Amino acid sequence: MRALLAIGILMIVLGIVSLFVGIPQRHSSGLTFGDAHIGVQTQTSERIPLPASIAIILGGVVLAAVGGRSSR
């Protein structure tokens, strides 16, 4: 059951990181006139919603508790 403990700790770390670090996204748009192409690329960074981050952290705590308790 050490796998549950490891997965739980990983989920806790990822949940905490998701509170502060955004996921980068690129958007491209453009026009084509014959052989000519005019385009614009924009990049945004969006964080996942707060309830999802909290759910990931709580799920990690539960898995770590179950994994830690059953390994004894």
What confidence tens digit (pLDDT) does each residue in 18-53 have? 999 988 999 889 888 888 889 999 999 888 999 999
Both structure tokens of 62: 């539960």
pLDDT tier, 55 (very low <50, low <70, confident <90, very high otherwise): very high
* pLDDT value, residue 13: 95
Neighbour-count burial of 61, counting CB atoms closer than 10 A to its CB (0-12 exposed, 13-18 middle, 19+ buried): middle
Question: Considering the entire predicted model, what is its pTM?
Answer: 0.70
Question: For position 71, what pLDDT does the model report?
Answer: 54
Q: Which two tokens stand for residue 28?
A: 């491209």
State the pLDDT at residue 57.
95
Residue 22: per-residue pLDDT: 87
Output the average pLDDT for the chain.
89
Q: Is 39 exposed, middle or buried (0-12, 13-18, 19+ CB in 10 A)?
A: exposed
For the chain, the structural domain boundaries read 2-70
